Amino acid sequence: MSYFEKSKIQGEELIRIFSLSKIHFTFRLLNILISVLISYILFKVIINWYDGNLKDFNVYSPYVKKAFYVFFVVYVVFYMIYLIIRYITTEIVVSNKRFIVKSGWISRSVSEVSISRIEGVSLKQGIVGRLFRYGSVIVRGTGGNLIVVPIVHDPMALQSTLQNMISAYGSKS
C-alpha cells in the first residue's frame, strides 16, 4: 500500500502518479562504473610502479590487489542497491487536494502541500534532460515553502498537471 493510500483524506482523489527518471539513474550507474574503471587503471599503474621499486611491497601486493577488487565490487553493488531502493520508494503524487513527494524506506521523508497553498511551479531542465525527458520541478507554497522534485520523469507533465489543478481550484473559490 502506498503512502498516498495510507494518508488519504476525505474526498481526495488521485489525479496522477509520477516517477523518478530511469535514464538519470542509468547515467549515475554508468558514471560510477566509469569511475571504477579509471580507478582500476590508476591502481594497476601504481601497483606496477610499487612492484618494481619497493622490494617489501612484493610480499603484500596480492593482498592489496584482492582488497582493491573486493572494495570496488562491494561499493558498486551497494551503490546499485541504493539507487534501486531510492527509485522504488519514491512517490510523487498529485491529487485533487494535495501534492505529495515521499521518499525513503527505513527513514521516510515526506513533503506535501495543499493545492490551494501552491503559489507557483517552476521547471529546470538541461539539454540532456530535454532529450531524455527528465528534469526538476520546484513547487513554491505560501510562506516560502519549497518542494524540489529532482530527476522526475516527464517534468513538463508534472508542471502542467499542477498548474491545471491550481487553476481548477482557483475557479472553484
Number of domains in the chain: 1
In a domain, 56, yes or no: yes
In a domain, 9, yes or no: no
| Grid cell locating 84 | 534501486
Range of the structural domain that residue 33 is part of: 15-173
In a domain, 5, yes or no: no
* Site of grid cell 538541461: 126
User: How many CB atoms neighbour CB 74 within 10 A?
Assistant: 10
Residue by residue, DSSP assigns 93-122 as EEESSEEEEEE-SSS-EEEEEEGGGEEEEE
In a domain, 36, yes or no: yes
In a domain, 68, yes or no: yes
Burial zone of 149 (CB within 10 Å; 0-12 exposed, 13-18 middle, 19+ buried): buried
CATH number of the CATH domain containing 116: 2.30.29.30
Report the pLDDT value the prediction gives residue 54, as an integer from 0 to 100.
Answer: 58
**Strands 91-95 and 14-18, how do they pair?**
antiparallel
Taking only the tens of pLDDT, the chain with its 173 residues reads 788 899 999 999 999 999 999 888 888 888 888 988 888 888 777 777 666 665 555 556 677 778 878 888 888 888 888 888 988 999 999 999 999 999 988 889 999 999 999 999 999 999 999 999 999 999 999 888 899 998 999 999 999 999 999 998 776 65
